[in-house]
Amino acid sequence: MVNLPDEVGDPTKGMTSIVKTIVRFVLGIVIMFGAYIVLYGHLTPGGGFAGGVILACGYITLTLAFGRELALRKMGDTAASILDNSGALAFLVIGFLGFTGGYFFLNFIDHGQTFRLFSAGIIPLCNIAIAFKVTSSLFAIFMALSIFGRFMSRLVEEEE
């Protein structure tokens, strides 16, 4: 069960308490599954893109169930933008580190034994960087659309 502060039980924000309780149970599993998909991307189906979208889905579930304020407290817009940029930057830095062995995106770390978690050189690191990038950018775009939508619904009410 995800540990969320008690004030989010505020019935005026978000959905009903049934949804909130279910989300408390499910959210940890969703985020754990996303992390699994990212970390085991080089052994099983998955990878940075799919896992990143799953993690973003977890955050969006939190937003939809508990309202926007709580989700923004967990990951603010500045944090999302910094994570987005640092994910892209980490991917580039990993690529440039390949110049230590000769060329761009060289797999310069030892491959290790196949079927182990710590194998395949730079591929897990690249997966993690891409996952950070995809998660934070999708979360940020959802928050932007949601804030704009709130503004728009107010506009429609004013019209009526």
Partner 1 sequence: MELLLLIILIFMIVGSIIAIETKNLLSAVISVGVVGFCLSIAFLILGAPDIAITQVVVEILILVILIRATITTDNTAIERHWDTFSFISSLIFFGLFLVFAWLAVQELPRFGEPLLRVSSDYLETGPEKSGATNIVTGILLDFRAYDTIGEATVLFTSIVGAFVILRRRGRKHRKDMDREKVGILQDEDIKKDFRGF
Partner 2 sequence: MILYFLALVLFVMGLYCLVAKKNIIKKIIGITITEYSINLFLILLGYRSGGVAPILLKGMPRSEIALHSVDPLPQALVLTSIVIGLGVLALMVAICLRLYEKYKTFDMSEINELRG
Residues that bind partner 1 (CB under 8 A): 37, 41-50, 53-54, 56-57, 60, 64, 84, 88, 91-92, 95, 104-105, 107, 111-112, 114-115, 119-123, 126-127, 130, 133-134, 137-138, 140-142, 144-146, 148-149, 151-153, 156
User: By CB under 8 A, how many residues form the interface with partner 2?
Assistant: 20
d(CA 113, CA 120): 8
Helices (H), the chain: 17-39, 48-66, 68-74, 77-97, 123-159
Q: What single string gives the DSSP state of each residue in 131-144?
A: HHHHHHHHHHHHHH
The position carrying tokens 């944090």 is: 79
d(CA 82, CA 76): 10
Of 29 and 145, which has the nearer Cβ to partner 2? 145
Q: Which stretch binds partner 2 (CB under 8 A): 8-16, 24-32, 47-55, 83-91?
A: 47-55
Structure tokens that stand for 33 in this block: 């599954």
Q: Is residue 114 a contact point for partner 2 (CB under 8 A)?
A: yes
Q: Indicate the residue type of 53.
A: V
Q: How far is the CB of 3 from partner 1 (least distance, A)?
A: 25
Q: Which residues bind partner 2 (CB under 8 A)?
A: 44-45, 47, 49-50, 52-53, 114-115, 134, 137-138, 141, 144-145, 148-149, 152, 155, 159
